Amino acid sequence: MRKRVRGIHEVFASDPARADWEVWGRQADPSTRRGFLKGLGAMTALVGSKIVFSDFMPAGLIPAAYANQAEPFAIEGKDGLTVLNDRPLCAETPAHLLNDDVTPAHRLFVRNNGLPPEDVDGRNWTLTVDGESAADTKTYSLGDLKERFENVSRQLVMECGGNGRSEYDPPASGNQWTVGAVGCPRWDGIRLRDVLEDCGYRDDTVYVAYYGADRTADGGVPISRGVPMAKALEAESMIAWGMNGEPLHPMNGHPLRLVFGGWPGSTSGKWLSRIAIRNIVHDGPKMTGMSYKVPCEPVAPGTEVAPEDMCIIEAMPVKSLITYPQSGYQHPVGEVLSLHGHAWTGDNQVERLDVSIDFGRTWIRADLQPPANRLAWQNWDLDLEFPEAGYYEVWARAADANGDVQPVVLPGWNPRGYLNNACHRIAVYVA
Ligand SMILES: Nc1nc2c(c(=O)[nH]1)N[C@H]1C(S)=C(S)[C@@H](COP(=O)(O)O)O[C@H]1N2
Ligand SMILES: [Mo]
């Protein structure tokens, strides 16, 4: 359920400088289905055909083809996602639809900052590597990348830095993600470092930045971020063309993207066309200012923080999900309930996963699996028994090898609402 819907005016009034795509897209309201259908392109894609008399179509009209469907908005090749915004398109996956140990493409969330490229031709796609610290400027075709470098497949967690934002109070503007801006597909591609080494880089390299083929409405670059060189050189840092043996979904960056497991999703550039090897901390759109940053020192909720006191988010915090059963589940009294879920943590490994059915008074240790490879999420299972009939909340809490434990209540408030790793909880009715 959406807690609140922020109007565009409210957002601009509170921060007039933020005239970017994140706030342009009116927050869609699923209860009325208004706000989804903006722009002829979006509407045509939705209806699946040219709208012949589109010139005469009243603004805000919901096409009859969709007016009576239970799902207010369907994204081709995705299934069951909740759309938070249609322009740019942002959609998350309900927790119970993330139950697969390897996230299928149709269940991976979508977070777009601009308009994706249309009519992508993978055969003619190229990737250029350049920058102040590059020894050479090189351009590779997709075929070059596939043939010249060792192909690898890795399961890597992709999570938006703003996952969980909807719970913060005072609220933060931006997509009101609940828990589902996360997934862990098996990515197919090559190591980023093999390409960096092929191109060559100087000792003064600081950052590796990306540019993608998506654009803002007026043709600008919506987002261009990256990672420090040390992260770029890790064996798990990938340039990927596929997911679970299939080409990337168009909304997840087809035909080429970066994947940095365990770091904010915003570092994993989609529709990748250029990599810049930089001798400074990259300064592209959404690297500077307040985006993807948290206060360097904790602040009281609602505090105004100066941009120079904000630090770039690197590894994501320890977190977990209960993916079976779905919240609200009715369970027969006297029977065992087999829970399932996943746990993950930035650059590290999860060491334990505990479950409580008594609001955190006591905790029961779940059976936690090792990751399929470094920076993959870890699956967990627990057979639960309930003492009597009634309403229960099941809480899950992960702890990692750094000694970090998920907070039961909200973690530190921050102006843009990032890094909410509070325990996931579900309702279970035993009867
Ligand atoms: N070119 C480009 N890359 C991008 C984005 C974008 O808007 N454009 N969004 C980023 C953000 S904020 C996230 S969370 C991830 C989301 O990846 P997904 O949409 O494949 O789930 O992509 C990142 N890469
Ligand atoms: Mo994100």
If pLDDT is split at 50, 70 and 90, which confidence band does 34 have? very low
Residue 113, token pair as written in the block? 């900052």
SS3 content of the chain, % helix, strand, coil (to 5): 15, 30, 55
Q: What is the pLDDT of residue 13?
A: 28
Q: Which atom of ligand 1 is nearest to the CA of 212?
A: 1
Is the pLDDT at 26 greater than 80? The verdict is no
What is the mean predicted confidence (pLDDT) over 415-427? Answer: 96
Ligand 1 pocket, residue 250 CB under 6 Å: no
Ligand 1 pocket, residue 212 CB under 6 Å: yes
Pocket test for ligand 1, best of 103, 184, 215, 223 (most atoms within 8 A of CB): 223
Beta strand pairing status for 151-155 and 186-191? antiparallel
More confident residue, 56 or 138: 138
Strand partners, 208: 227, 277
**Exposure class string for 197-219: b at 16+ Cβ within 10 A, else e:** eebebeeebbbbbbbbbbbbeee
163: Cα separation from own chain's centroid: 7
Ligand 1 pocket, residue 115 CB under 6 Å: no
Please name the residues in contact with 304: beta carbons below 8 A apart, sequence gap of 6 or more: 415
Q: Which ligand is nearest to the CA of 165?
A: 2
| pLDDT-wise least confident of 31-35, 92-96, 98-102, 396-400 | 31-35
- What is the Cα–Cα distance from 117 to 254, expressed in whole angstroms? 9
Is the pLDDT at 115 greater than 60? The verdict is yes
HSE at residue 47, side-chain half, CA atoms within 13 A, is 18
What is the mean predicted confidence (pLDDT) over 84-89? Answer: 92
If pLDDT is split at 50, 70 and 90, which confidence band does 11 have? very low
Q: What percent of the chain has pLDDT over 90?
A: 81
Is the pLDDT at 199 greater than 80? The verdict is yes
If pLDDT is split at 50, 70 and 90, which confidence band does 53 have? confident
pTM score, whole prediction: 0.85
Ligand 1 pocket, residue 28 CB under 6 Å: no
Do residues 389 and 341 lie in contact, with contact meaning Cβ atoms separated by under 8 Å?
no
Q: What is the pLDDT of residue 38?
A: 53
- pLDDT, mean over the chain: 88
Query: Which residues are within 5 Å of ligand 2 (an ion), measured at CB?
Result: 111, 160, 265-266
What is the mean predicted confidence (pLDDT) over 218-243? Answer: 98
